[in-house]
Structure 1
Amino acid sequence: MQIDEDPSWQDPIIDYLVNGNLPMDKSEARNVQQKAARYYMQGDRLIRRSYSSPHLTCIKYPQTLEVLCKIHDGECGNHSGGRSLAQKALNVGYFWPTMH
């Protein structure tokens, strides 16, 4: 599993799914458990369950820019913006919490 130096929104979820570790704060621990129910690990990747589309690969900040650039003006050749761009990222199987 690749370890990033900067903390990520994924870290507590991954730590719980892989090691069973929860934050010390009861409220935060409950929050992590509830969120973790929507995810699973596939190798070293965190995957978000989706009922209306294929399951989504969760990515962290540096990768989000890369994915958006490829969709916007790179390999996909589509100059979309805003919500349309985020929807296209979802359609090709990527997820991060701030995309909505």
Structure 2
Amino acid sequence: MQIDEDPSWQDPIIDYLTNGNLPTDKSEARKVQQKAVRYYMLGNKLIRRSYSGHLTCIKYPQTLEVIYKIHDGDCGNHSGGRSLAQKALNIGYFWPTMRHDSAE
């Protein structure tokens, strides 16, 4: 699981969507432009477009909170990582390493 918060995977996309700034490397700039098509800003939140609905993108400290809330319960949830990641998607959250993080 990723421990450091800075820099976030969202930062280049947010910078491009809000200010139009791209990385100086042409291949990185192209990657950001291609990824940014799937996202939009709603206030100060990054939202990912999805066929199943729009997903709120979250950063590291909040990812643990979401996983623990889904996993917690009266008897506890003994779901696997894939199931936890799918539940996070179903309630409207997204981060790129969600399946890996849920398995840990």
- TM-score (normalised: structure 2): 0.85
TM-superposed CA distance for 1:37, in Å, is 0.3
- 1:80 maps to 79
SS state of the match for residue 82, structure 2?
helix
Letter in 2 for 1:32: V
In structure 1, distance between residues paired with 2:25 and 2:17: 18
Does the alignment pair 1:62 with 2:41?
Answer: no
**CA RMSD of the aligned region, Å?**
1.5
The question of whether the paired residues in 2 share the 8 Å contact of 1:56 and 1:93 is answered with yes
1:99 matches 2:86: no
SS state at 1:24 partner: coil
Other-structure match for 1:37: 37
* Corresponding position: 1:47 with 2:73: no
C-alpha separation between the residues in 1 aligned to 2:44 and 2:73?
27
- Structure 1 stretches of 4+ with a deviation exceeding 4 A read none
TM-aligned CA distance change 1:74 to 1:59, over 3 Å = farther
Gaps spanning 5+ residues in structure 2: where? 100-104
CA distance in structure 2 between the aligned counterparts of 1:74 and 1:48, rounded to whole angstroms: 28
What is the deviation of 1:6? 1.5
Gapped regions of structure 1 (runs ≥ 5): none
Between the two proteins, the alignment pairs up a number of residues equal to 94
